[in-house]
Amino acid sequence: MLKGKTALVTGSTSGIGLGIAKSLAEQGADVVLSGLASDDEVAALKSELQDTFGVKVGFSGANLTDPDAIEGLMGYVARDFGGADILVNNAGVQHVSPIEDFPVDRWDLIISLNLSAAFHTTRMAISGMKKKGWGRIINTASAHALVASPYKSAYVAAKHGIAGLTKVVALEGAEHGVRCNAICPGYVYTPLVEGQVADTAKARGITEEEVKRDVLLAAQPTKEFVTTEQIGAFATFLCSPGGDGINGAILSMDGGWVAQ
């Protein structure tokens, strides 16, 4: 379905981004991975995707908090892949602290990575998409693009910001075959979370099932994690003909979290 398309997925060396990259590659898209990872990790990921799906795989270790590095990344994608037909803005980090103690450098980092990086990639990718008359921009937002939690000022501000950016880009691309949407996951099951479950169970003297249900998934009515495979499948649907009519949507994928 996506043969002949190139997908740039930021933050795709692990977690949600990797799940999206795999799903798009499974449909035949060439993929440019991006993230902070060791040479060995990158080599293993590249050959896994190439061997499994038979697609061309690139990589950039650009630090996406730096607009010049983003320009370098977009130049590489243009030169070696003919530009991004699918852009997934996914790289992001979190910091948890009461606002009066929130470190200023963490605020700046989160705003630049979780929000401004998507502005820079989008502004550099959208002209090529408009010229081709087809493009898909998918922003990984969060339930925190719609509701807040205490101690997450920078993250919640950035994610609400990405929801606004999504809507503006959707309007600007609408008549040019470009679609822009945001996926808002709740708690996602990643290896990182898996580790947290075991550690928290040990620390609190409760079972791993109790940690998942009563601690991590307290806000998620299904009491089930969203998986990276589900998010990959959803992102791929947005790139399919069936997704053509979806534009500027802030799409929850959180087991009912924001329905409460």
Interface contacts to ligand NAD, rule CB under 6 A: 11-17, 35-37, 63-65, 90-93, 113-114, 140, 142, 185, 187-188, 190, 192
Nearest Cα to Cα of residue 6 among 105, 184, 129: 129
- Beta carbon nearer to ligand NAD, 174 or 198: 198
CB 124 within 8 A of CB 89: no
- Beta carbon nearer to ligand NAD, 6 or 112: 112
Q: Which listed residue (76, 155, 187, 189) is catalytic? A: 155
Rounded CA separation 113/248 (Å): 21
Minimum CB separation of residue 11 from ligand NAD in Å reads 3
Phi/psi of residue 142, nearest 5 degrees: 180, 160
Take residue 24 and report the two structure tokens written for it. Answer: 């798009």
Starting at the earlier edge strand, list the strands of the sheet with 135-140: 57-60, 30-34, 6-9, 86-89, 135-140, 178-185, 250-253
- DSSP for residue 148: -
Minimum CB separation of residue 176 from ligand NAD in Å reads 26
Rounded CA separation 122/5 (Å): 17
Rounded CA separation 146/22 (Å): 27
- Beta carbon nearer to ligand NAD, 95 or 130: 95
Burial-class residue 10 by CB neighbours within 10 Å (0-12, 13-18, 19+): buried
- Beta carbon nearer to ligand NAD, 36 or 198: 36
Residue 76 is a catalytic residue? no
- Beta carbon nearer to ligand NAD, 17 or 255: 17
- The residues carrying an active-site annotation are 155
